[in-house]
Chains A and B, each alone.
Chain A
Amino acid sequence: MSQPSTSHRPNIIIIGATSAMAEQCARIWVSRQACNLLLIGRNTEALSSIKADLQVRSPESVIDVQMSAMEYAEEIQALTEQALTDRQPDTVLIAHGTLPDQQQCQDDIKQAEQAVRINGLSPVLLAEAFIKQMLENNKGTLAVIGSVAGDRGRKSNYVYGAAKGLVTRYLEGLQHRLAGSHVSVVIIKPGPTDTPMTAHLKAAGQKMATSQAVAADIVSAIDHKKPVCYTPGKWALIMLVIRNLPRFIFNKMDI
């Protein structure tokens, strides 16, 4: 039997803990050493089955779950207060999101509003709320899952892309503000990944990274406090090209 580590147990908070990427991150974290883990989400059944799984993987870890809504400022305020009672996080991962149907967002602006809210407003307000406390503790790393879609608006998904772009700009600002402090901010930009969110794309035959591989990159980016992490790594290069394509070429592309 391996002895429980006597060194400091990492305190980790995951928001959107039922996301496939976040679940894989949690598995990596508990497989390395016992952790104090707080899983936050809106679906109790899923949260408790993830908790049970992690507990089998790491009986020494202390795992709590918190059921919270996270769409509006008041909800986010309440979520943060509850999460930070008696807890000074070393790592906060904000992972939730949805992939809206672009056409439906164009046809019905209420859907566009909801997509921007959950993918853009909600994570940035959460980031703001958590950073406040983390700065007071003067420690911790905050990582938020954005997307390569946030790097340049495209006709096929610009509502989602705009929300993810908001996340990127916001975190850049936070990084600027926190320079010199002991608090770090990590922006994660995954490419297409095989998770429930993209099940319809997978069924259509699109090639995708595994959530395990992406999670390994996320965990490593957090370990190294990497300001921006494209995952899989090749997306850094692809997006460099896409961002810099002249408009007259870009506009001819069907992407």
Chain B
Amino acid sequence: MSQLQSWGRLSQAEHHTVALSSQSLGKQIMSTSPGICYGMGRSYGDSCLNPGGTAWLTRNLDRLISLDTKTATLHCESGALLEDIQRLLLPRGWLLPVTPGTQKITVGGAIANDVHGKNHHVFGTFGENVTALTLQRTDGETLICSPDGENPDWFQATVGGLGLTGVITSAVLKLRPVTGPWLTAETIPYQSLSDFFTLSRTSESDWEHTVSWFDCLSGNQPRGIFLRANHNQQPFKPEPDKKRQLSFPVVPPVSLVNRLTLKPFNTAYYWLNKRKAGISTVHYEPFSYPLDAISNWNRMYGPKGFYQYQCVIPPAVSQDAVGELLSILRKYRQGSFLAVLKTFSDRKPAGLLSFPKSGTTLALDFPNRGQKTTALLDAMDSVVSRANGRLYPAKDARMSAAMFQQGYPELARFQAYRDPGITSAFSARTIDC
């Protein structure tokens, strides 16, 4: 037995861990099910956990299988890291079309949560850029699935399927050509929610990446920083020396994010970034994965860990609902260190349980202060559900079964594709209760 945590560090439960290996995977999962896959544990909640039960560690399944430069696709095993893939392929003129705010995640985890990046309106989700995957079921069956070839229904269930349909063993990923690592980025300070919505609307036709950070303590017309960027044509040059990796060395006894520090931090962050207003050239890594530069930054929330709350709200009611959520924060006198707003465009989702849908997504982090925090999140839930929005399972450790089932109307269809030998703390809490 060994202890596993997810990124929110809310629990530290014993798991029977089984490191999967390509050669014996089928036998391994058959003989140790029920279990759940654990990639890099970059999900914040309990979707990659199975306390007291089996966790299949997929990190060693990291072989690359083939690179086809004609079709611009990479076939690789599911434990390969997005970071390793991108660093290997960048000098040859390729990157992954879609990556989330960290690249220290596995291909399997990226598919199982159908993750999104800052360019949803251009490339969609990670799953939209997968052309095939191999699924190993705990009864020994192996399925090849692709969106428009074999087993398309299994493909749809597995993309965003939270690891519950089987173990993804390999996937074929689309690549995008790039000339180099450089982005032309523009930083635009804004002063209200309606400014944010205008900026989003007007940026999407000309900018590939759009995202925004805002100061959730700055009243009901929050100030924020809007970022937009495009890949530019500057060529790749090998970097002379690697940037130094910082690390958060210890778990402080209490959260460093608290009422005393939040306000000055948010204010400082706003002013520091406001000074950068305008256009600049940036490397895609610090632009896309700013937090990857500090290992274990999640430790700053102390031994009790933290919750992330990410919802999506349909367009018609986005602005009102976000305003309402902010007023709840004020009512509960809690703020977030990192508040992120972004819009999703209207696309057909790749998976039955994919999170992104047309509208606005809001992500907030809260140190775990027990009942005080869960009461706040419950209050936010009622706004989200009234607005016909939903929460992102990758970030969730506490939503109710009702909240999940209401947010994901395709759940009933999805159930037919479940692998009975797979269970997670998340599925036990929100589906099988």
Residues of A bordering B, CB below 8 Å? 1-2, 20, 43, 45-46, 49-50, 52-53, 56-57, 59, 194, 196, 199, 202-205
Q: Is the interface of A mostly helix, strand, loop or mixed?
A: helix
Q: Is B34 an interface residue (CB 8 A)?
A: no
Q: A45-B23, A46-B23, A49-B22 are in contact. Are A203 and B64 (CB under 8 A)?
A: no
Contacting pair B1 A205 (CB below 8 A): yes
Residues of chain B within 8 A of A50, CB atoms compared: 63
A250 to chain B, nearest CB (A): 29
Bitwise interface map of B from 1 to 37 toward A, beta carbon under 8 Å scored 1, else 0: 1110000000000001111011100000000000000
Residues of chain A within 8 A of B428, CB atoms compared: none
Contacting pair A203 B16 (CB below 8 A): yes
In addition to A49-B65, A203-B18, A205-B1, 15 A-B residue pairs with Cβ atoms within 8 Å of each other are A2-B91, A2-B238, A43-B23, A46-B22, A49-B63, A52-B66, A53-B64, A56-B64, A59-B67, A199-B18, A199-B19, A202-B2, A203-B1, A203-B2, A205-B2
A200 to chain B, nearest CB (A): 10
Residues of chain A within 8 A of B18, CB atoms compared: 199, 203
Residues of chain A within 8 A of B259, CB atoms compared: none
B229 to chain A, nearest CB (A): 25
Closest to B17 in A: A203
Bound complex: CA A202 to CA B20 (Å): 13
B418 to chain A, nearest CB (A): 26
Residues of chain A within 8 A of B273, CB atoms compared: none
Contacting pair A204 B2 (CB below 8 A): yes
B390 to chain A, nearest CB (A): 36
Residues of chain B within 8 A of A2, CB atoms compared: 91, 238
Residues of chain B within 8 A of A20, CB atoms compared: 60
Residues of chain A within 8 A of B17, CB atoms compared: 202-203
Residues of chain A within 8 A of B60, CB atoms compared: 20
Residues of chain B within 8 A of A1, CB atoms compared: 91-93
Closest to B62 in A: A53
Contacting pair B2 A56 (CB below 8 A): no
Closest to B23 in A: A46
B158 to chain A, nearest CB (A): 22
Bitwise interface map of B from 35 to 62 toward A, beta carbon under 8 Å scored 1, else 0: 0000000000000000000000000100
B50-91 residues with Cβ-Cβ distance < 8 A to A are 60, 63-67, 74, 88, 91
Closest to B1 in A: A205
Contacting pair B63 A52 (CB below 8 A): yes
Contacting pair A56 B67 (CB below 8 A): yes
Interface centre among B1, B63, B74 (most CB of A within 10 A): B63
Bound complex: CA A50 to CA B1 (Å): 30
Bound complex: CA A175 to CA B60 (Å): 35
Residues of B bordering A, CB below 8 Å? 1-3, 16-19, 21-23, 60, 63-67, 74, 88, 91-93, 238
Bound complex: CA A82 to CA B224 (Å): 67
Subset of 20 A-B contacts with CB under 8 Å: A1-B92, A2-B91, A43-B23, A46-B22, A46-B23, A52-B64, A52-B65, A53-B64, A57-B64, A57-B88, A196-B21, A199-B18, A202-B17, A203-B2, A203-B16, A203-B17, A203-B18, A204-B1, A205-B2, A205-B3
Closest to A20 in B: B60
B125 to chain A, nearest CB (A): 25
Residues of chain A within 8 A of B93, CB atoms compared: 1
Bound complex: CA A52 to CA B238 (Å): 25
Contacting pair B16 A56 (CB below 8 A): no
Closest to B28 in A: A199
Residues of chain A within 8 A of B238, CB atoms compared: 2
Closest to B14 in A: A205
Closest to B15 in A: A203
Q: A56-B66, A57-B88 are in contact. Are A202 and B19 (CB under 8 A)?
A: yes
Q: What are the 4 A-B residue pairs with the smallest beta carbon separation, nearest first?
A: A53-B63, A56-B64, A205-B2, A56-B67
Bound complex: CA A49 to CA B65 (Å): 7
Contacting pair A53 B91 (CB below 8 A): no
Bound complex: CA A6 to CA B76 (Å): 30
Residues of chain A within 8 A of B65, CB atoms compared: 49, 52-53, 56
A8 to chain B, nearest CB (A): 21
Bound complex: CA A43 to CA B67 (Å): 24
A4 to chain B, nearest CB (A): 13
Bound complex: CA A246 to CA B165 (Å): 57
A71 to chain B, nearest CB (A): 20
Residues of chain B within 8 A of A59, CB atoms compared: 67
Residues of chain A within 8 A of B63, CB atoms compared: 49-50, 52-53
Bound complex: CA A56 to CA B77 (Å): 13
Closest to B21 in A: A196
Residues of chain B within 8 A of A49, CB atoms compared: 22, 63, 65
A180 to chain B, nearest CB (A): 38
A80 to chain B, nearest CB (A): 26
Bound complex: CA A131 to CA B91 (Å): 39
Closest to B238 in A: A2
Bound complex: CA A57 to CA B62 (Å): 12
Residues of chain A within 8 A of B3, CB atoms compared: 205
Residues of chain A within 8 A of B23, CB atoms compared: 43, 45-46
Bound complex: CA A20 to CA B59 (Å): 13
Closest to A199 in B: B19
A166 to chain B, nearest CB (A): 29
